[in-house]
A and B are shown apart, each in its own frame.
Chain A
Amino acid sequence: MPEIKVTPLGAGQDVGRSCILVSIAGKNVMLDCGMHMGYNDDRRFPDFSYITQNGRLTDFLDCVIISHFHLDHCGALPYFSEMVGYDGPIYMTHPTKAICPILLEDYRKITVDKKGETNFFTSQMIKDCMKKVVAVHLHQTVQVDDELEIKAYYAGHVLGAAMFQIKVGSESAVYTGDYNMTPDRHLGAAWIDKCRPNLLITESTYATTIRDSKRCRERDFLKKVHETVERGGKVLIPVFALGRAQELCILLETFWERMNLKAPIYFSTGLTEKANHYYKLFITWTNQKIRKTFVQRNMFEFKHIKAFDRAFADNPGPMVVFATPGMLHAGQSLQIFRKWAGNEKNMVIMPGYCVQGTVGHKILSGQRKLEMEGRQILEVKMQVEYMSFSAHADAKGIMQLVRQAEPDNVLLVHGEAKKMEFLKQKIEQEFHVNCYMPANGETVTLLTHPNIPVGISLGLLKREMALGLLPDAKRPKLMHGTLIMKDNNFRLVSSEQALKELGLAEHQLRFTCRVHIHDTRKEQETVLRVYSHLKSVLKAHSVQHLPDGSVMVESILIQATAHSEDPGTKVLLVSWTYQDEELGSYLTSLLKKGLPQAPS
């Protein structure tokens, strides 16, 4: 029985290190290749030895697909392809291909240059890895090989984020990556057609959350920033360089303009300018409104937002700083946080999800005394605010996507076990499909029942269709044909054609039964009696009285002859072919019962 197997190496009942193995109709695909922000040891990368202990990964995987540029989805890619060794194709969208090497380089720098780690991937490895990447368009059907095809759908979330359909024959699975079902200030909403996959693998970050309207959150955010700035405080917004950052920049830029505010807004890394440039060049990936107006006013050219310099952090007076990375686990955002944490006038706004183990996660869970490197204790007096701006689908959105795609099965990844449990029940109740939530290293096996495609000769098909377009539910029409199987070529043709093609002659099998009935009249009259009797019984059949004195029921011939010895008995010869056997045998038994008395 054909089956689909799924094993998460990362993101199984967890957020971070997304990496899911899927086997479908004998093809093996790896979905995402991320790193875990919460770990600094071996656990930060997926355990690729699971795929094979002693062979080359290239021999085991038909392709790798990266859903978007966030490091928890692509951070392990150079390690996987260059250090473990994989030379097969890696698929991602154009924006992802453009941006992901920059984030990888950033990540490498922080790890090697700042933390001083050795045995990490090098800049050259990132370059070599990217050479293996094949960029895909939205909705393009990419033929990985003769059987395996993949197709990308728009996912919102971040620039270039995509959901992927993997298809072999009539079996298919969809992997959502991270997605967002509501358009935001710079991106559109995820969309998929009713592709009815055997399996939908969906993220479930906000499995239990139903978020209020985006407008409210935006108003809240602006109010908090405004209040802090008004009282002379500093606002730190840890972000990842690409994604939420642009959305919040657009938000603040328009607010500053409208309110005529003067407090400076900074964007920390040198990446800003560049990042905004990517948004300008890939504007076709943003939302409708931005795309429509970009010739007149490019939303990614900011007037109020300036580049940040490290020295500015000590400047007196209010300011707003966007700093990377977004979970306060390293880099500039953490440095600024340490500087500003002690002052209660200041505020840090966490606009996205933080994985366990990061400073971001700690302060969000209420911790106010943090142990920093060198056993130093940092006391957090500044206000800590959390605002969910991460562009993930909430529970409603996930349900909506399931409804759109109409899968046979759902599998949850990229979420916390407890929350998944809740969503799993909801999905099973509402859609009556199986829902799975494997942990890392745990395999889910699904049986599939694919139809078998064959070619049917048009002659046969048209003959069948001509018999009636509306099949009667009570008496379904049977079609009959011969399936010719040669090599891997299956063709269904009429039996006559099959015989002809194979150079075989038809063998006709005919039966003729003698039915004796008592009748003293002449043969012609007997025949007439037979005719009228059959005519009255067989209303739905063609019954004919032929000029040569015989009766024809469909293609069954009935003749009457005199009995050689008994003049009071007539012999009916009923003759039919094997193909008419049911009717022939029915007629003989009917005639055997005798003819009704003729009206005198």
Chain B
Amino acid sequence: MGPYSLSGHPTLPCNVLKFKSTTIMLDCGLDMTSTLNFLPLPLVQSPRLSNLPGWALKDGNTFLDKELKECSGHVFVDSVPEFCLPETELIDLSTVDVILISNYHCMMALPYITEHTGFTGTVYATEPTVQIGRLLMEELVNFIERVPKAQSASLWKNKEVQRLLPAPLKDAVEVSTWRRCYTMQEVNSALSKIQLVGYSQKIELFGAVQVTPLSSGYALGSSNWIIQSHYEKVSYVSGSSLLTTHPQPMDQTSLKNSDVLILTGLTQIPTANPDGMVGEFCSNLALTVRNGGNVLIPCYPSGVIYDLLECLYQYIDSAGLSNVPFYFISPVANSSLEFAQIFAEWLCHNKQTKVYLPEPPFPHAELIQTNKLKHYPSIHGDFSNEFKQPCVVFTGHPSLRFGDVVHFMELWGKSSLNTVIFTEPDFSYLDALAPYQPLAMKCIYCPIDTRLNFIQVSKLLKEVQMRKLRPERRRDSHKVAQVPLHVVCPEQYTQPPPAQAHRMDLVIDCQPPAMSYRRAEVLALPFKRRYEKIEIMPELADSLVPLEIKPGISLATVSAVLHTKDNKHVLQSPPRPIQPPASKKRKRVSDDIPDCKLLKPLLSGSIPVDQFVQTLEKHGFSDVKVEDTAKGHIVLLQEAETLIQIEEDSTHIICDNDEMLRVRLRDLVLKFLQKF
């Protein structure tokens, strides 16, 4: 049943689960760290970038110098940036029935999957996830398409060539499968396959499986998913947060009673405290601006930026920053700011309350109204006329490889008055900065990652394991409490981060130990399905005769007709035997042949010989004799030439071919036995 792991990135997962003959893809993350190997795409012609020297092999061979450029000791591919797609060979993706999306960051590979693999299923996601996911994709496509690059490098991807390259290019995985960005047309087509869902909505898949999104507390509309049948429950936890930021809090209680918990999307910076980072962010920003410098914040157009703007809203007056302009530059800046205000139902309690007043839930509305925050689709157009320094600029992309941020890096990089503050945790800031070296600009690293850290995970796992007894789910009723929770996670979470190898606290600690997976691996989930739901129709139920076998336990034998439709099973009373019309035609011999599939119940119990003999006598057998044998008794009916062997768990009636007699004896024996 999987999971089949199609992504090696723990926060941008893509797993496929086969559950009760339904194939479910969990998330569709796109690993964009591959773009760090490429040169930035400048919006404005950059002499520095275009004059970088070509890279030559140690032996002086320069056949790659058109494709590879060198900057401060690092080598970059001079080409349209490419992304590392989920594995497409491990499993036939056209067989995927549904894709469940947990948050807008984890759907960026969707067009590659839905448009190019023969996928014909349905994608499920919440409305904010879809709307903001669309904005992220739109921004990405826009960033890449507005700087057309003639060159598409491919020589370096040759296995023999790649071997000769310096790290990290040498070690890049599966470069042959890297792909360019999709088009807006593909995005629209992919998004049209999404069906919107709400938190706690129960979605039936083919009558066999039920999936339910739960609030995960990480982003607007972010969800964890429950995948369950009546007897098995798999929880998929991806990108969850227990911190109080703008989204609705995480729903933990609904994860209880899980058999398996697939855990992905933990914090990428387990040692940093988000609150502390926000403080540092504010003070560094203020310091730079006060000294007359500009602040650049490479960011995504949605998510943490809402919280940062809210912090700044509270902070700017007290820090004396009221006159410093804040700019948010993105092709989707306006939409992102507007969309944030209309998802009241997906927000934390405080923000919801504001909407009831009615006031906009995010204070950035006021920042815009008072002209403190201005947003522009790009640096071209109005921005270039209105832009004043010193200022604070929020813009993408956080990889520093494309988007308006490239321009600001080139513009401000030379002055030590300016500061770039890294808040997004997805890219190593040193790698991001590499093609801009040498830099005079200050670089501050304040990664804000609100997703679960390892301490929160172990608390969460304990919480989830506190089982509430659910009678209908009990299997071996007395063993309930011991049924273990199996945790499945990316291998990165089972060993400390390479840079902090001694930190044994930075791993998932649970019992039984977590099962880990890596890219292109298939795991077997450790539980076996044993039960399935079936419904008994009322008239059949009425006809059942329960018999109390032990105190509190009753049994009833059921003979019924099974109907299965749309994966739902129903038991119906057997039809009354139809009496064949006697007058018509002569019966054929075969009409009488009984159907051996008509099963008779099993029998249990034992026959007390004395009582049995008494019963026989009561029913008119006068010449009963009993002989003892090694294992039991033999009851003889001399006149009828019949003998009945009675042992602890068997009875054998041996008689002449006298059906009347046989049936009489049978019924007397059955009196002492229970039917099953």
Contact = CB atoms under 8 A, between A and B. Distances in A.
Interface of A: 94, 97-98, 135, 137-142, 170, 274, 277-278, 280-284, 294-295, 449-459, 461, 464-465, 467, 469, 471, 475-489, 491-492, 495-496, 498-499, 502, 504-516, 537-541, 554, 574, 578-583, 585-586, 588-589, 592
Contacts of B562: 464-465, 471, 477, 479
A586 B594 contact: yes
B345 A135 contact: yes
Contacts of A589: 659
Contacts of A464: 562
Given A451-B538, A452-B535, A458-B531, A578 B198 contact: no
Interface string B432-460: 00000000000000000000000000000
Contacts of A98: 355-356, 358
A455 B534 contact: yes
B534 A492 contact: yes
B151 interface: no
A540 B344 CA distance: 68
Contacts of B558: 479-483, 492
B509 to A, nearest CB: 32
Contacts of A280: 342
A510 B650 contact: yes
B600 A295 contact: no
Interface string B579-594: 0000000000110111
How many chain B residues sit at the interface, stated as a range, is 35 or more
A539 B556 CA distance: 35
Given A454-B535, A465-B564, A579-B600, 4 more contacts: A485-B546, A509-B603, A512-B655, A580-B600
A477 B563 CA distance: 10
Given A484-B553, A578-B600, A139 B201 contact: yes
B602 A579 contact: yes
Nearest to B200: A140
A274 B570 CA distance: 54
Contacts of B18: none
B352 A94 contact: yes
Contact of A586 (B549, B592, B604): B592
A139 to B, nearest CB: 4
Interface string B604-638: 11110000000000000000000000000000000
Given A295-B335, A464-B562, A487-B552, A456 B533 contact: yes
10 contacts: A295-B334, A455-B533, A465-B562, A480-B559, A486-B552, A504-B605, A513-B657, A554-B596, A574-B657, A578-B603
B553 A478 contact: no
Given A281-B355, A281-B358, A482-B556, A507 B653 contact: no
B342 A284 contact: yes
A451 B537 contact: yes
A481 B602 CA distance: 9
B597 A467 contact: yes
B639 interface: no
A465 B541 CA distance: 21
A480 B602 CA distance: 10
B74 interface: no
B597 A478 contact: yes
Given A480-B557, A499-B604, A507-B651, A284 B343 contact: yes
A482 B676 contact: yes
A513 B673 contact: no
B594 A489 contact: no
Nearest to B472: A489
A483 B544 contact: yes
A74 to B, nearest CB: 15
Nearest to B575: A476
Given A455-B534, A489-B474, A507 B657 contact: no
B127 interface: yes
B536 A507 contact: no
B574 interface: yes
Contact of B604 (A97, A284, A507): A507
Interface in B491-544: 529-538, 541, 544
Contacts of A540: 593
B550 interface: yes
B532 A458 contact: yes
B603 A508 contact: yes
A479 B563 CA distance: 10
B569 A512 contact: no
B166 interface: no
B104 to A, nearest CB: 16
B73 to A, nearest CB: 45
Nearest to A486: B553
B669 A477 contact: no
Nearest to B474: A489
Contacts of A495: 557, 601-602, 676
A483 B648 CA distance: 25
Interface string B226-253: 0000110000000000000000000000
Contacts of B343: 284
Contacts of B603: 506-509, 578
A63 B555 CA distance: 37
A139 B532 contact: no
Given A499-B604, A554-B596, A507 B649 contact: yes
B173 interface: no
A457 B600 contact: no
Contacts of A499: 602, 604, 676
B453 to A, nearest CB: 29
A279 to B, nearest CB: 9
B477 A486 contact: yes
B640 to A, nearest CB: 12
Contacts of A454: 533-536
Nearest to B654: A512
B375 to A, nearest CB: 12
B430 interface: no
A485 B553 contact: yes
Given A455-B231, A481-B558, A586 B593 contact: yes
Q: Report the 6 A-B pairs with minimum CB-CB distance, sorted nearest first.
A: A451-B535, A582-B594, A495-B676, A480-B599, A495-B602, A455-B531
Contact of B569 (A461, A541, A554): A461
A486 B552 CA distance: 6
B601 A480 contact: yes
B598 A137 contact: no
A94 B554 contact: no
A586 B596 CA distance: 11
Nearest to B528: A458
B555 A506 contact: no
Candidate in A467, A483, A586, A592 with the most chain B CB atoms within 10 angstroms: A483
A541 B537 contact: no
A499 B531 CA distance: 17
Given A485-B554, A540-B593, A455 B651 contact: no
A166 B534 CA distance: 22
Contact of B538 (A452, A506, A510): A452
A506 B666 contact: no
Given A455-B230, A461-B569, A506 B604 contact: yes
Nearest to A455: B531
Contacts of B355: 94, 98, 281-282
B205 interface: no
Contact of A516 (B345, B571, B604, B657): B657
Given A461-B532, A478-B574, A580-B596, A511 B666 contact: yes
A498 B538 CA distance: 23
Residue from the set A138, A467, A492, A578 with the largest chain B CB neighbour count within 10 Å: A578
Given A449-B538, A477-B597, A278 B530 contact: no
B197 interface: yes
**Which of B197, B549, B598 has the most CB atoms of chain A within a 10 A radius of its CB?**
B598
Nearest to A591: B657
Given A479-B559, A578-B603, A509 B532 contact: no
Given A508-B650, A537-B593, A140 B535 contact: no
